[in-house]
Amino acid sequence: MPQSKSANISACSTCNLAELCLPVGLSAQEMQRLDELNMQKHSFSRGDYLYRSGDRFRALFAINRGAFKTRILHEDGREQVTGFQMAGEIIGLDAISTDRHDGEAVALESSVVCELPFQKLETLSRDIPSLQRHLHKIMSREIVRDQGIMLLLGSMRSEERVAAFLLTLSQRYAMRGLSPTQFQLCMSRQDIGSYLGLKLETVSRAFSHFQDEGIIAVKTRSIEIIDLALLQASINSSC
Amino acid sequence: MPQSKSANISACSTCNLAELCLPVGLSAQEMQRLDELNMQKHSFSRGDYLYRSGDRFRALFAINRGAFKTRILHEDGREQVTGFQMAGEIIGLDAISTDRHDGEAVALESSVVCELPFQKLETLSRDIPSLQRHLHKIMSREIVRDQGIMLLLGSMRSEERVAAFLLTLSQRYAMRGLSPTQFQLCMSRQDIGSYLGLKLETVSRAFSHFQDEGIIAVKTRSIEIIDLALLQASINSSC
DNA sequence: CATGTTTTTTGACTCACATCAAACCCAATT
DNA sequence: AATTGGGTTTGATGTGAGTCAAAAAACATG
């Protein structure tokens, strides 16, 4: 069990999604597990699973460095990336990790997209009311985010989706004090496609097209947004 | 303000999503508002707004009778139905009602799909810890549900989506002790389409096709599932 | 019951995206 | 320098679902 320590929760300027800072309090066995993971560092590559106790995540993690993706796995092998989590954000909401949805087993998993280091924050303990309240915010935001993606998946066409994707990335970087117009993608075209409900070729074509239009400059994983306004516009114009 | 009364929370066998029962505690003005709504009963039709204080829902409602839809509105007029809530379920999570998502104003609204009567449950009061805990479950489930829809929107084709939709409806009715094979749709093809990311014609065609196959029997809003196994199969087969 | 309105169905056509396939780039390995 | 392999780009082609349109059915109204 995690060593109980006084929770130290405060709005955190560097964590955008989080707003939730706790001293890192790892139990002995969790420390050991972390070590194991670090030991096997080389076996960790894109697509590998992160950390599961049993068949569900039991804790919240604040991502220190690197980026992760969350995805849903259908039993028939279909998978969908449901989000990308970057440094300063939260991953692994306990309650939603594994659950039955409409009678079908839906496994929610996290896999490494980029690098791996992370910090265990705190197990989702029922008895820290202020943590709970923050959790509400996080979950609410998760829902709002999901609903946004639903809008995207349900009613946008390919280039609009890619534009929207780039813009949200841009904003997330901006929130973290990084350049909103020049950044590295930390996920493959494949993953972007899965996230946006598109095939990787379509994503690539969208990038190329935006580049031809002079809206962005792409060099594989490096993105520079040249005309942010045009990118914005390309979401609404074509509909 | 709502009259504070002792919360009486317990697992509720008739409420499937809820698991949350409170004595109906309406304040005077809320009672009045409810009366107003009942007065104007005839002015309520599909698509009308339900109940908003300011521009956000301030309370949780347990739906007593009828059905509602939740949707997102984009400023450019685009809308997407994000879910259907039926009797015995919960509607109107405060925190997510109106929020900024990725810098764009996204309004979450509820509109009446079928009939209107509802009961106010309790304002989302921070000071009832057991309510909070239940809220977690509800929100978790909301997230899981959303993620399922994302899977659907992202990687299923039209007939699979419609099949999945019918199956979840079936299960929800079953959970409520109603017939899982014979029920009335309480939403238009349009709404189903919006929910599934399809056009209404496509939904109609899917229904017709399933009917031709002898899997279901459709008569406008009346659905009978004839071969549940085949319906199940049609989700996986075509992929 | 006749009439107007909305919802649903059906058909013909089009187009955006998926699919298939080949070439390319870049980094790691030998 | 040559090889291998994953990720990316690009092109040619096919198809599922959108679009447009019109008829039919369901529903509402006087």
Tell me how far apart the terminal alpha carbons of chain A are, to the nearest angstrom: 53
Q: How confident is the model at residue B141 (pLDDT cuts 50, 70, 90)?
A: low
> In chain A, where do the E strands start and end?
59-62, 67-73, 79-86, 90-91, 98-101, 104-112, 119-123, 182-184, 216-219, 222-225
User: Which nucleotide minimizes the distance between its C1' and the CA of B197?
Assistant: D17
What's the whole-number mean pLDDT along residues A212-221?
A: 92
d(CA A72, CA A107): 6
* pLDDT band at residue B206 under the 50/70/90 scheme: very high
- What is the three-class DSSP state of B73? strand
User: At residue A123, does pLDDT exceed 50?
Assistant: no
User: Does residue B94 surpass a pLDDT of 50?
Assistant: no
> What ipTM was reported for this prediction?
0.69
Nearest CB among B99, B143, B195 relative to A139 is that of: B143
CA dihedral (A166, A169, A175, A176) in degrees, to 10, reads: -130
Q: Does B137 touch chain A (CB under 8 A)?
A: yes
List CB contacts (< 8 A) between B168 and chain A. 102
For the segment B149-189, what is each residue's pLDDT rounded down to a tens digit?
Answer: 888 888 899 999 999 999 999 988 887 788 999 998 888 89
Instruction: Report the pLDDT value the prediction gives residue B148, as an integer from 0 to 100.
Output: 73
CA distance A81 to A70: 6
Token pair of B230, please?
């085949």
Closest-approach residue (CA) in chain A for B93: A140
Per the listing, tokens 């690539």 go with A204
Decide the pairing of beta strands A59-62 and A119-123. antiparallel
Tell me, what's the pLDDT at A206?
A: 97
pTM: 0.69
Q: Which two tokens stand for residue A126?
A: 């029922």
Q: How confident is the model at residue B200 (pLDDT cuts 50, 70, 90)?
A: very high
| pLDDT score, position A158 | 94
Q: What pLDDT, on the 0 to 100 scale, is given for residue B85?
A: 72
Rounded to whole angstroms, the Cα distance separating A149 from A195 reads 9
Bigger pLDDT: B237 or A144?
A144
Tell whether the model's pLDDT for residue B66 goes beyond 70: no
- What pLDDT was estimated at residue B75? 62
Which of A40-49, A73-82, B1-10 is the most confident on average? A73-82
Cβ proximity of A90 and A61 under 8 Å: yes
Domains of chain B: 5-150 (2.60.120.10), 156-236 (1.10.10.10)
A11: left (phi over 0), alpha (psi -120 to 50) or beta: beta
Please state the φ and ψ torsions of residue A152, each to the nearest 5 degrees: -60, -50
pLDDT at A29 over 60: no
Confidence (pLDDT) at B145: 67
Of B43 and B30, more confident: B30
Residue of B101, B131, B203, B239 to mutate for A, most A C-beta atoms under 10 A: B101
Work out the average pLDDT over B124-150. 55
Closest-lying nucleotide for A219 based on CA to C1': D8
Q: Residue B223 is inside which H or E element, if any? A: strand B222-225
